[in-house]
Structure 1
């Protein structure tokens, strides 16, 4: 592994030998439904609370990823994961069930790529042969913690986003068949003073632009190196802003090869999801489901996923703090000969 600025380049790229995606009913009615492994027909997942349902999502995705890799749980050395709940309880309680040595990470909605970057570093440095990474979110748990419980029936502004109910997991290995992780860029915390929790896209866009700029600088690449570049969950508001910010940096993004997971997972015109999707599960299920299936089919050979996260908490919001944000980028490429 070689460090380049705030990026890691993996000279012997770790391999994504399996991925798994599990989603709820709203995601199952969206345009990417055929690319998910398991679609639950009820948001409760037959659990007694929304939080228990979110934990079950993560357990489903983790167990399925391990099974698809052809492994037993005791063959997986580490599990790297996190989520949006206070003290990342969904991932930590899932780790209790999985009984795999666990590293909990928190990057809010950027956790999908943060966990994958850390897992890849562990494998590339010889710290593990098989590492599980993953994250999850649930619409009802997030609404209750960060805004208003769904039962309250509060009206949301057009800038608000709809948290994805879903979990994505991957198994990263030293060798094997599958796409490889070639590099990762670790983001900086960027805070532009936005305090509105109903406008996360605008808050996160500057962090996405900063990480994209850093990735191209560190790796000495231009946007046309990649067949597709996606941000995590900026949705309509944030995605427009990140395009404007990149133009100011004289980085010309191609509209046909630059998109956002929050714009892809739902039919925004028909599903009533305000500005689009968000949540840890958003970039996780879109990447591990839809995008890697496109890579398997040969439609994409080089992919850059820039997952974005708002690092606020109910406590910081109640104290009038602004919203610090971050973005982590991971480059995934199809192995030659596949």
Structure 2
């Protein structure tokens, strides 16, 4: 009995067992990782977690919880867990310094953690076409720099029938609002009537940042290429952005949800000019000589059995078929 009490006293006087780990050691600038600090001890004394300077990261959420478990005849084991959601703000090799945990007269420090942050510039350059990037760079900023705004950007107010028109929807977020988001906003565009359209490539992360009258604003974008089929007025419907902002910085705080719409944008589809046309030539602009072939294998089947259907579209056009 005396030996057991001595062992129990020794366990209660031991320093806490502390670990610190991240869920990913490599990410892209603007993405998030989770830092988990866990301290286990057999004493009831309070545990204090001292975080290092998180240079290069922004804290987007945090929570702390303590659990008590009983293992055999020993003293209860108290496990304190601190979780932090960190967003990488710049590329490079970032170091999360030692996390120090204090309990009573003990202080335990974890080993530093190295995180590699890749630049998002390469991915964004490939995700957004040069035409769309040029439109975004030339877009006028919103009237206010302290509120979220949505705008639709077009290259001009008129276009020829069949000519490609790149339409960009841009959601402007003040940086202090964007840094509080737990997930990327959802930006949607509707297809106008009287056009043939297909979605263009666009990054899901921040596509660009602009200094608007002394305040940084981060932009999320959606891209659509449209081709007017007939002449006349083309009305581009409003773009919509949906996002949620936590009420507080607590990890468990509720979120206020918002939905914003842009103004409609109109452009005029003009008929093709008559000058320069060769008589008798096919004047279709989007595509010509299209053929569609269907191959069904097997040709006969039973109810419930899969059948492979291959469709092949071929021809000449100014867009990807």
Q: TM class, shorter-chain normalised?
A: under 0.3
Instruction: Considering fraction of residues, name the structure with more strand.
Output: 2
TM value normalised by structure 2: 0.24
Instruction: Considering fraction of residues, name the structure with more helix.
Output: 1
TM value normalised by structure 1: 0.23
Based on CA coordinates, which of the two structures has the bigger radius of gyration?
A: 2
